[in-house]
Amino acid sequence: MKNITKMMKLDFLTMKSQLGLYLVLIFIMAIYVYMDSSIIVLSITCSWFIALLFANIFAIQDKNKLNRLYSSFSIKLKDIISGRYAYIFLNFLISLLLLNIIHFIVMLLLNNSPILLEYCLGFTVSFLVFSLIIGFQLPIYFGMEYTKAKIWTMAPYLIVMSIILIPSLLTSFSNIMEFMVNNKIILFIVSYSISLITIFISYKLSLKTYQNRY
Amino acid sequence: MNNKILEVKKINKKFSNFHLNDISFNLPKGYIMGFVGPNGSGKTTTISLILNMLKKDSGEILLFGKDHIVNEDIVKNDIGVVFDSSFYVDSWTVADVEKANSLFYKEWNHHTFENMLKRFELPKKQKIGEFSKGMQMKLMLSCAFSHNAKLLILDEPTSGLDPVTRNELLELLQEYIKDGEKSVLFSSHITTDLENICDYITFINKGKIVFTDNMEKFLESFKVIKGKLKDLTKELEKDIIGIRKSNVGFEGLITSDKINKLKGFVIETAKIDNIIIALSKVGD
């Protein structure tokens, strides 16, 4: 656990120069909150952007040959992977928390009453979206050079775009979503189960791809 | 007690176009080993395998008597590493580099690091990306020296350094091993550096170890032979490694055990360069 925390601190140091982008993201979110956007939609959008933003760490890692730095440190290979997963998910949690706090305060300022269930739904669905995107991308980033990996990691975004653009797919997806929204307990159970299974499989795959990266 | 700091035993690694074949060598405590070979001979691959940056196909690597993968977090605490190019984030400053290193090394010494920065005259506020190659190299060296490492692994550390700093580094390395407890694995193309400070030498060519033993033995094993073309018999030509012929005569390398029977030739002491160049030609 100690080594994972160290890796997270190192990742934070690595991403220090990107902090400005992160603040811009929070600012944009705050504007959308003020425009009375739904917290569910905002949470999903936020998870999407966080996934895009934190993929940059692999670009920095590649550009500066950080694999060499990691190999010189007194840590095991699995600590590098675990630390990266923990760092990215912690950032997601902090961002979502900030978003929810901003939303909550703005709702109070606008004399609207915040609905707790919406916050829970927003978090659950965005966690699912984030886990699916990151879960797919990380094993690729760990196994390939950033420039090559970048093409493959666009797949989750393309899939979502396809769902939106193909009417029949969108209808089926909407039906599933409608069913889920009407059966919230099932939605929570299914979403968290899929998220956790995705993260677990993704982590195992990352270990494999990182070990065999050359 | 095991006197070897590094033991590489029959390691193999296959790539589509290159094969590191049964690499074995040992580095005893208290010595500097030069790791030499032409470009693409497998030096960096071997170092990457030692550091577990690459997965070996077979063989065993022991650091301080322990398996380098099973005990990776323990053994690496005692290793300092310098590569031929910087591995720090270019937007970092020296302070960030120290923060990063001090996270991972139990015996990180801020005082030593400060002294090294002063010694190398490295600016503290400038970004690493703005450092020259020589400055980046000095920074990596400063870090390697600042956590009481028992083994330094240096991959082409002198390539970006001016002669004065190179000399300073060589002095530092000699100072470093003085207590007899520490060792250095030093890969370099600049063989004069190696000749000056190395106690042992490992020569690798085309993925195979050609020679690994102490420097004296390495230099004594070969002699440079020069002579006139008319004196060059077919039998002698077979014995000469890396022969070069010109209008005035020939020049090459010959193993020392063969020089007693030779008369009328110029026999000179071989330098590392002579040996490496000649041996590199074998099998071409």
Q: Which of B254, B100, B17 is nearest to A60 (CA)?
A: B100
CATH number, domain containing residue B149 = 3.40.50.300
Mean pLDDT of the residues in chain A: 85
- Which residues in chain B are closer than 8 Å to A9, comparing Cβ atoms? 103
Partner residue facing B76 (CB), from A10, A73, A212: A73
Q: Does one domain contain both B111 and B180?
A: yes
Q: Is A211 on the interface with B (CB under 8 A)?
A: yes
- Do B213 and B234 share a structural domain? no
| Statement to judge: residues B227 and B212 lie in one domain | no
| pLDDT band of A214, cuts 50, 70, 90 | low
Q: Do A6 and B104 touch (CB under 8 A)?
A: yes
State whether A67 and B51 contact (CB < 8 Å).
no
CA distance B128 to A69: 14
Domain range holding B63?
A: 4-218
Do residue B73 and residue A79 have CB atoms under 8 angstroms apart? Answer: yes
Contacts of A10 in chain B (CB under 8 A): 100, 103-104
Interface of A with B in 1-40 (CB under 8 A): 3, 6, 9-10, 13-14, 16-17
Lowest mean pLDDT among A28-32, A73-77, A105-109: A28-32
Q: In chain B, which residues have their Cβ closer than 8 Å to the Cβ of A79?
A: 73
Helix runs in B53-130, H state only: 72-75, 94-104, 110-120
Cβ contact, residue pair B76, A75, below 8 Å: yes
Question: Of B218, B237, B255, which residue is a domain's last?
Answer: B218
* Domain boundaries, position A43: 2-211
Interface of A with B in 44-63 (CB under 8 A): 60, 63
pTM of the complete model: 0.82
pLDDT tens-place string over residues B205-264? 889 998 898 988 888 888 899 888 888 888 888 888 888 888 888 888 888 888 877 777
Q: In this model, does residue A151 exceed pLDDT 90?
A: no
Whose tokens are 């300073």? That residue is B168
Q: Are residues B140 and B194 in the same domain?
A: yes
From the CA of B15, how many Å to the nearest CA of chain A? 9
Task: Output the tens digit of pLDDT for each of chain B's 284 residues.
Answer: 468 899 999 999 998 889 999 999 999 999 999 998 888 889 999 999 999 888 889 999 999 999 998 888 889 999 999 988 888 999 999 999 999 999 999 889 999 999 999 988 899 889 999 998 888 888 998 999 999 899 999 998 887 678 888 888 888 888 888 888 899 999 987 787 788 788 999 999 889 998 898 988 888 888 899 888 888 888 888 888 888 888 888 888 888 888 877 777 888 888 888 888 888 776 55
Q: Would you call B284 exposed, middle or buried from its count of C-beta atoms within 10 A (0-12, 13-18, 19+)?
A: exposed
Residue type, A143: G
List B residues 47-66 in contact with A (Cβ-Cβ < 8 A). Answer: 48, 51-55
- The pLDDT of residue B11 is 94
Structural domain tally of chain B? 2
Show residues of chain A in contact with B72, CB under 8 Å: 74-77
For residues B175 and B197, the answer to whether their CB atoms sit within 8 Å is: no
Same domain, B42 and B85: yes
Q: Are residues B201 and B247 in the same domain?
A: no
By C-alpha distance, the chain A residue nearest B85 is A65
Q: Which residues of A touch B53 (CB under 8 A)?
A: 67-68, 71
| CA torsion through residues A146, A152, A155, A158, sign | positive
ipTM: 0.79
Whether B54 and B175 map to the same domain: the answer is: yes
Q: Are residues B72 and B118 in the same domain?
A: yes
Q: Which of A16, A60, A74 sits opposite B77 (nearest CB)?
A: A74
Q: How far is A2 from chain B (nearest CA, A)?
A: 10
Verify that B99 and B226 share a domain, yes or no. no
Reported as a single tens digit per residue, the pLDDT across A8-61 is 999 999 988 888 877 887 778 777 777 767 888 888 888 888 888 888 899 898
